Amino acid sequence: MIFELHRRLVEAVKPSQEQIRRYFELDSYTPHFTLGQTYWGMNEKEIEEMKSDARNALPPFPTFSVTHVRVYKEVEPDKYVPYEDIRLA
């Protein structure tokens, strides 16, 4: 199901083959959640603590429904802010 949603989103956006390759889309796509990154201010110790906490707190992994897709806008190089939420039927 997530792969079908991803494929439809890629088809709607119509990225170039270079963008598909560069951003790991379609066959190279791996569904994931980003819990944190050092890029956005977390340090390595915080990431390791989050990793440990997630291993204990998340399983068993529940199913969930996706109700919208959030689009982000780049406001300066490598800085993004929420732009629009697109509801899914």
Please give the pLDDT value at position 41.
83
Retrieve residue 67's tokens: 């109700």
Please give the pLDDT value at position 29.
94
Tens of pLDDT along 9-22?
999 999 999 999 99
Is pLDDT above 80 for 43?
A: yes
Domains of the chain, by residue range, sit at 1-32
Confidence band of 70 (pLDDT split at 50, 70, 90): very high
Strands (E), the chain: 68-76, 79-87
